[in-house]
Amino acid sequence: MRLAFLGTPEAAVPSLQALVAAGHEVALVISQPDRRRGRGKEVSASPVKAAALAMGLRVADSLAALDEVDVERAVVVAYGAMIPAPLLETTPMLNVHFSLLPRWRGAAPVERAILAGDVETGVGIISLETTLDTGPLHAERRTEIGEKTASVLTAELAEMGAQLIVEVLASPELLNNPRPQEGESTYAAKLTAETFHLTPALTTDQARRVVALERAFIKVGARRVKVLGATATNLAVAKGLLHRQGAVLALGLDDGALELTWVQPEGSHTMGAVAWWSGARLEGDVEWT
């Protein structure tokens, strides 16, 4: 099939690669424009653009380029912007969405599923509509969330989605007979800095879910400390205090405590939590917010 592909982040790359490997002709890849990425803030291409160029595919950074090619369909995976109605009218589009729709429509479905404590999530192939993630489902796959971090779960869903979009395009039955979404819809709002802020008011379960997003932080005095690893502990620690006992550094929360395992102090590198505590020359129980 002659296709266009719209996608931007690393999670979209497996689908692009799978479509090419399956023999589809990807006539055009559209990705978000080059921007500053990483610590050096150098301007660089998106992961999808870089992968497409490596495969010798035509790449554009504007949806207007769709008017220049003749394709049967477009496949959209985390493109990063809504598709205007006129384009949907001229080019049928399939979307690889990383949730069990209609649960978690929106920009951050993986992270919202983790934060909500969902037991499972999945990936679905839908036909795009002008409204957000409301299109009918062609196929769906599920997976348990368990203790997976956001990056691990996203990578798993990206591979699942890549396999599923190839299956849908190969099956006239799946392609031509989507079913309406069923169930209660929820909105996966964009993440903000406060999403990752651990506070003493959180329960241990809530805090562990935030840590699973891999960008959690606490404030000790005026400085931020990223919490990159934490595990359950039976150590008794007062709410709002950091307490060290031997080789354990624990964070007091609303209903218990978490042992901090890996942290990254502001302006420094990742290190063991106890090593950070010792290097910071903290003593006794220390307040955190």
The domains of the chain are located at 2-188, 193-287
Largest CA distance in the chain: 69
Whole-Å CA distances, 288 to 171, 199, 219, 242: 55, 8, 6, 7
CA distance 286 to 241: 5
CA distance 267 to 251: 21
Whether the Cβ atoms of residue 237 and residue 250 lie closer than 8 Å to each other: yes
Nearest residue to 4 (alpha-carbon basis) of 82, 78, 57, 55: 57
Whether the Cβ atoms of residue 106 and residue 187 lie closer than 8 Å to each other: yes
pLDDT at 189: 95
pLDDT at 283: 84
Residues (pLDDT < 50) of the chain are none
pLDDT at 39: 61
pTM of the full structure: 0.94
pLDDT at 125: 98
Q: What is the CATH number that goes with domain 193-287?
A: 3.10.25.10
pLDDT at 35: 83
Chain centroid to Cα 45, Å, comes to: 19
pLDDT at 185: 97
Which class is 2-188 in CATH? Answer: alpha beta
